[in-house]
Amino acid sequence: MRRMFLTILYVVFSVKIYAGPQLILSTAEGSAVQDISIQVLQEAYAEIGYELQIIRTANVRSLLLANEGRTDGEVSRVVGMEVEFKNLQRVPVAVNVLDIRAFTKIPGIDVPSWESLRGYNVLSVKGSKQVELRLTERNINCYYAAQFAQAINMLYAGRGDVAILPDVNGKQAIKEQGLSGIVMADESLEKINLYHYLNTKHAAIMPRVESALRRMQLRGRIKEIREHYLKSQYVSTEWPIADF
């Protein structure tokens, strides 16, 4: 009996030894673009001996959790989050890119630029800071849904003319809900780099995280992860493209 007890202790102790320290990161639920960022970060953190746990929640709440220190950081966001969220520190290596596109059901809509959205009923998602900024500075009204799927459903139901979303997230919402008749603009409204953010309580590991990501960037690994994800999830012919 004593030998069995010691064996169990040995197994538990061994697991404790070989399991690396863990960080908890938050991110937006229903966001396929963040799936790409997660894969990049998992590889980078594994290189420096850390494991990641991911919590998915509402887009805005994810930032609040990271800023309040209830999670250890945010998976990825656009540049400048540290201005509003003072407890977040940006790792200065892009881990992903937002390819912002227009989605619509209405034939003939012409929206090649942000300015061209004026006059349409525009939809997007709360917490999409760059979209909010671009529309606000042009005084273009927009309804911000809580989730990407909600924005696409509203578009499908005719409660908006155009939905402005990252291409990957829009495609995911359409695919998961089996919707048809929604087309995506052929051209991007804008492409924006995404960066990983850590709560300032983890400032000590920032240089190691940056170095790991920098090495991945230099050998083309970050780009490779994104391209592999897109290829595995989406076939281009599955998605109607509108040459707006």
Give the chain's domain count. 2
Q: Is residue 176 domain-shared with residue 203, that is, in the same domain?
A: no
**Within a domain: residue 241?**
no
Q: What is the pLDDT of residue 109?
A: 85
Q: Is residue 33 domain-shared with residue 83, that is, in the same domain?
A: yes
Q: Is residue 206 domain-shared with residue 157, that is, in the same domain?
A: no
Q: Is residue 171 domain-shared with residue 207, that is, in the same domain?
A: no
**Within a domain: residue 145?**
yes
Alpha carbon 62 to chain centroid distance?
11
Digit-coded pLDDT (tens) for 187-210: 899 999 999 999 999 999 999 999
Q: Is residue 12 domain-shared with residue 88, that is, in the same domain?
A: yes
Digit-coded pLDDT (tens) for 179-189: 999 999 988 99
Q: Is residue 51 domain-shared with residue 169, that is, in the same domain?
A: no
H-state helical runs in the chain: 2-18, 32-47, 59-67, 81-84, 129-136, 148-156, 167-177, 206-218, 221-233
Q: Is residue 89 domain-shared with residue 49, that is, in the same domain?
A: yes
Q: What is the pLDDT of residue 236?
A: 46
> Residue 142's domain is classified under what CATH number?
3.40.190.10
Provide the 10 A C-beta neighbour count for residue 134. 21
Q: What is the pLDDT of residue 128?
A: 87
Q: Is residue 103 domain-shared with residue 88, that is, in the same domain?
A: no
**Within a domain: residue 13?**
yes
**Within a domain: residue 164?**
yes
Angle (nearest 5°) at CA 58 between 52 and 59: 85
The phi, psi pair for 125, rounded to 5°, reads -130, 140
**Within a domain: residue 67?**
yes
CB 63 within 8 A of CB 77: yes
CA count, 13 A, side-chain hemisphere, 150: 11
Whole domain around residue 142: which residue ranges? 99-190
Q: Which residues of the chain are modeled with pLDDT < 50? A: 2, 4-18, 235-244
Q: What is the pLDDT of residue 43?
A: 98
**Within a domain: residue 239?**
no
Q: What is the pLDDT of residue 18?
A: 45
The token duo for 92 is 């200065």
